[in-house]
Structures are given as structure tokens and as C-alpha cells.
Structure 1
Amino acid sequence: MTIWPLLVFVAVSAFTPGAATVIAIASGARFGFLRSLPLVAGLGGGLGLLGCLVGSGLGTALVMVPSAQGVLRAVGSAYLLCLAWRIAGAGPPRGGTAKPGGMLLGLLLTLQNPKAWAVTLSAAASFSDLADGPAGLALLLGTSFGACALLALSFWCIAGQEMGRRLRRRGQWAVVNGVLGALLAASVILIWL
């Protein structure tokens, strides 16, 4: 089996909108790419870590304990809805006192993100033939997801930065923040379907 189907799967998973992309866009719009880089690194690194964990066998353990899946979904959904509310009501940036989330926040957001778990579990199940055992699969999934997520989230963060540069009035910020908050909330709905 060739690695190309895995790379296409990972790229589509990383570039398509979800909670992490909305967070990267919002941070880029509000703080710019360079100030958002630690958050982006945490989000991307978190997906790489999750790929490693799932590839090493943790995914199998999670699937065998359905209540753990429910808890992960509920906690992740509650946090994402709280974050959506904060983004929607953020208003325009105010001077230099506000700070973007850091690397640890990005890592934690990814580890509780049900979409991230779903795509890494799907990859582990679908592409396990590419590796000789759990360690090889962990390395393959970790590097694939981590590298592609860093690239994709950097793209979305830069797109957010460019959007933020064009917003001049309070009303424009209200609309953009409202839309980003609604998109993040909508990603929670999709988690439960």
C-alpha cells in the first residue's frame, strides 16, 4: 500500500473547516500570524501527538470504552461552546493588553476536540497496513498529522490576519466575530450527528 492515500486523507482532514480552523482564523484576525504562532503550533502539535497516541493503540482502548467517548464529546463540546461565545462577543482588538492563546492551550484544545479524535481514529483503522506495528503507525500518523496541521492552520491563521487587516469599523468586527463564533458552535453540532 502506498502512502499517498494517507497523505490525501490527512490533508483534507487538516484543511477542512472545524474547530481548530475557526480558532486559527479568529486568532489571526485579532492578533496576527506571528503572535498567534504559539497557538497554531499547539493546535498542530496536538494533532500530531494525537496521531501518535491513536497509532500506538490508545484509539483501540478508547473505542472499547464507549463511556469515555461520551465524556470526551461532552467536555469538548462544552468547552468549544464556551469559546464560541467568547469569540462571538469579542469586539474589535483593544490595544496591546490582550494576548492570544499559547502552545499549551492549543495542545489542550486539540486533545479534547472530538473531530481530531475521529479523523485520527479513522486514519489508524484505515491505514494500519502502512506500518509494521503500533510504533511505526504512531510515528507515521504523528508526523503526517502534525506536519499537515501546522501547514493548514498556518494558512488559516494568515487568512484570518488578512481579514483582520481589512476590518475598520466596530460593526465589521461584530459581524466577523459573530460568524466565527457561530461556525465554531456549528462544529459542535456536527460532533453529535
Structure 2
Amino acid sequence: MSLILPMTAFALAASISPGPVNLVCLSSGTRYPLSKGLIFVTGATLGFIVLFVTIGLGLYSVLTVVPGFNAFLRWAGVAFLLYLSVQLFLDDGRLPEGETQKAPGFITGAIMQWLNPKAWLASASGIGAYTSCHDFREVIMFAMLYMPICWLSLSCWVYAGVYLRRYIQRPIVLRILNRALALLLAASCIYLLIE
């Protein structure tokens, strides 16, 4: 029980700090209805929790044993994030008129976490620091603490995008914001590669 506060602090710091998923949440908030952004957030949260529990129950041990698998995951994740940053950079800056525009959805959010090196690092370091020897109860307790914190943290980024949307009605302003976010997303990929 004495670990609940440190686990909570770790989950908050890892979830709310800028990263690839957070930037997509912000962008989604500026471009799409709030409900679309929250669908993405729900997928990203559940995808992360499944990854977290999987790592906590032994996948991390497998990653250290299988040569090259960790590097493969890192490169696949960076390639996916670079693809997203290119799509964001090329966006024309026009806000969709209705809800027919294709927003990143539940499945995209879930997959993105599995390809997100930040999510792998947060999971592995959290499990290593706050649980003992892959104890099932501790891993599940940590995951249950993490879930609402992750969802609320990512939702804050969507809400920030919704707030910014009021000020970026002109396509040129949104195009500049999208390109800045795309460059930040690409920069985060470079950071992940040299880390």
C-alpha cells in the first residue's frame, strides 16, 4: 500500500509529459470533434494498459533474451511515428466541416502505444521500479492506478487542442500549428533513436 503514492506520481509524470501520443491528442483536439479525440484517447489508454500488463507479466524478460527484437520494435515504432508526422505536416489546415473526416480512432490509439518507444520505456521502468519479480497482484494494482491517470492525462491534451481550435480558425494558422507539431513529433523520433 505504501507504493500507491509513488506509483501514482510516476503514472502521472509518464502520461502527461509530451510524447508522440500526446501530440496526436493535441492535434486531434484542434481538428475534430471532442468525441473523436476521446475515442482515440480510450484506445491509446487501453492499448497502453495491455502493453503494461504484458510487460509486467514477462514480456520484458523475453525482450532481453531475443537479440534484435528490441531494436526491431524501436525502428518499427519510429517508422510509424514518422509516417504520422509526415501526414500531419502535409495537412492543408482546413478544419473538417462535419464528422465525416477520418480522425485517428480507437484502433489507431491502441496500436500507436504498442509502437511507441516512450510507452515501452514507461512500462518497463515502472514495472522495474515499483513491482517485485513480476508479482501479478502488484502489476494489476499498478495498471488499475495507471488507467484513469493515463486517460485523464491524454484527455487534457485533447481538451487543450479543443481550446486552441477557437483561435486557429484560419487554415494558415492551423497549417503552421500542424507543421510545428509534426516537427516536434519527428524530433521525438530522433530523440528515441539516440536515447
Identify the TM-score tier after normalising by the shorter chain: over 0.9
2:180 aligned residue: 179
Question: What's the CA shift string for 1:11-36, capped at 9, x where partnerless?
Answer: 10000000010010011110032122
Question: What secondary structure, in the 3-state scheme, does the structure 2 residue paired with 1:166 have?
Answer: coil
Q: CA deviation at 1:140?
A: 2.2
User: What CA distance in whole angstroms lies between the structure 2 residues aligned with 1:161 and 1:188?
Assistant: 25
1:101 aligned residue: 104
User: What CA distance in whole angstroms lies between the structure 2 residues aligned with 1:29 and 1:23?
Assistant: 10
Larger deviation, residues 142-151 vs 117-126 = 142-151
User: What CA distance in whole angstroms lies between the structure 1 residues aligned with 2:70 and 2:34?
Assistant: 33
1:104 maps to a residue whose letter is: I
Question: What secondary structure, in the 3-state scheme, does the structure 1 residue paired with 2:59 have?
Answer: helix
2:4 aligned residue: 3
Larger deviation, residues 163-172 vs 109-118 = 163-172
Q: Is the counterpart of residue 16 in structure 1 residue 17 in structure 2?
A: yes
Question: What's the CA shift string for 1:69-100, capped at 9, x where partnerless?
Answer: 11101111011001001111212223223121
Q: CA deviation at 1:49?
A: 1.2
Question: What's the CA shift string for 1:81-137, capped at 9, x where partnerless?
Answer: 0100111121222322312122111100011111100010001111114xx853213
User: What CA distance in whole angstroms lies between the structure 2 residues aligned with 1:165 and 1:67?
Assistant: 46
Residue 117 of structure 1, aligned match among 111, 117, 120: 120
2:164 aligned residue: 163
- Report how many residues are paired: 191
Residue 94 of structure 2, aligned match among 80, 92, 95: 92
- Mapped contact 1:42–1:105 kept (Cα < 8 A): yes
Q: Is the counterpart of residue 70 in structure 1 residue 48 in structure 2?
A: no
Query: Unmatched 5+ residue regions in structure 2?
Result: none
Question: What's the CA shift string for 1:48-80, capped at 9, x where partnerless?
Answer: 111111111111211222411111011110110
Question: What secondary structure, in the 3-state scheme, does the structure 1 residue paired with 2:14 have?
Answer: helix
1:149 aligned residue: 150
- Mapped contact 1:47–1:142 kept (Cα < 8 A): no
User: What CA distance in whole angstroms lies between the structure 1 residues aligned with 2:38 and 2:141?
Assistant: 24
Query: Unmatched 5+ residue regions in structure 1?
Result: none
| Structure-2-length-normalised TM-score | 0.92
User: What CA distance in whole angstroms lies between the structure 2 residues aligned with 1:147 and 1:67?
Assistant: 33
CA-based RMSD: 1.5
2:143 maps to a residue whose letter is: G
Identity %: 28
Q: Is the counterpart of residue 126 in structure 1 residue 129 in structure 2?
A: yes
- Mapped contact 1:39–1:105 kept (Cα < 8 A): yes
2:97 maps to a residue whose letter is: G
